Amino acid sequence: MTVTPDDLDAATASVADGLRQASGRAWSAAPGTGELTAWRTAEHLGDCLISYAALLLARPSTPRFVCFEAVADRAATPSELLEFVTVGGGILSATLRTVAPDVRAYHPSGRADPEGFAGMGCVEALVHGEDMARGLDVTLDPPREVCARVLTRMFPDVDADGLDPWTALLWATDRIELPARPSRAGWQWRGAPLDDDVARSRAASGE
């Protein structure tokens, strides 16, 4: 269930397509993620995607992000913000296609491999996209196979059996509550490779 740059492209495109329905609305007045407006959420998303590419390229030796922030022009329209998000996704996707599979780079959730960064980019795009969609009163319809792969890679502890993958991803990121399912408040994804646990176990046992 590998998450790929193609998955990131598909996730970003589905978000842009869904939000484009609201391009004529006032994003600076609509809710987004937390206390952010939809405008600021889109700007944050573009910056997140570009910053992940920067981490993969710079691979700082200390646990930190690369010291920059990508911001949108204050006069940017909703269409231009979607362009910013799409370009950010494209920069990360292109970077993922060029770095070696064994590359590791800092993230607070653990030193992540390219697959982890692809998964993080997908979650960022889909979840922040959903936050904006709710504030702008539009509906996203991301590819379910992408959601399923992202869930398996980024949330290995989540039991999503019997759930629509998009619904499960929204629950896993505490965007919705589900009957008979535990709260996901305080959720966190896993950026580090899944097989790191196996390697640590073998090292501890002397194998």
Partners of 184 in the β-ladder: none
Tokens 């996209």 sit at which residue? 129
Closest CA to 106 of 63, 166, 42, 153: 63
Q: Higher-confidence residue: 197 or 54?
A: 54
Which residues, in sequence order, are CB contacts of 190 under 8 Å at separation 6+?
109, 110, 116, 153, 154, 155, 156, 157
Domain ranges of the chain: 5-205
Per-residue pLDDT tens for 137-180? Answer: 999 999 999 999 999 999 999 988 899 999 999 999 999 999 98
DSSP 167-204: HHHHHHTTSS--TTS---TT-----S-TTHHHHHHHHH
In angstroms, the Cα distances linking 82 to 18, 50, 60 are 10, 14, 29
What is the CATH topology of the domain spanning 5-205? Four Helix Bundle (Hemerythrin (Met), subunit A) (1.20.120)
DSSP designation for 67: S
Q: Which tokens go with 18?
A: 């869904």
pLDDT recorded at residue 197: 56
Structure confidence at residue 198 as a pLDDT band (50, 70, 90): very low
Which residues, in sequence order, are CB contacts of 5 under 8 Å at separation 6+?
93, 94, 96, 97, 118
Give the end-to-end CA distance of the chain in Å, rounded to a whole number.
Answer: 27
Which residues, in sequence order, are CB contacts of 141 under 8 Å at separation 6+?
14, 18, 166
Partners of 31 in the β-ladder: 37
Return the minimum-mean-pLDDT range out of 12-21, 50-59, 117-126, 189-198.
Answer: 189-198
How distant is the alpha carbon of residue 155 from its chain centre?
12
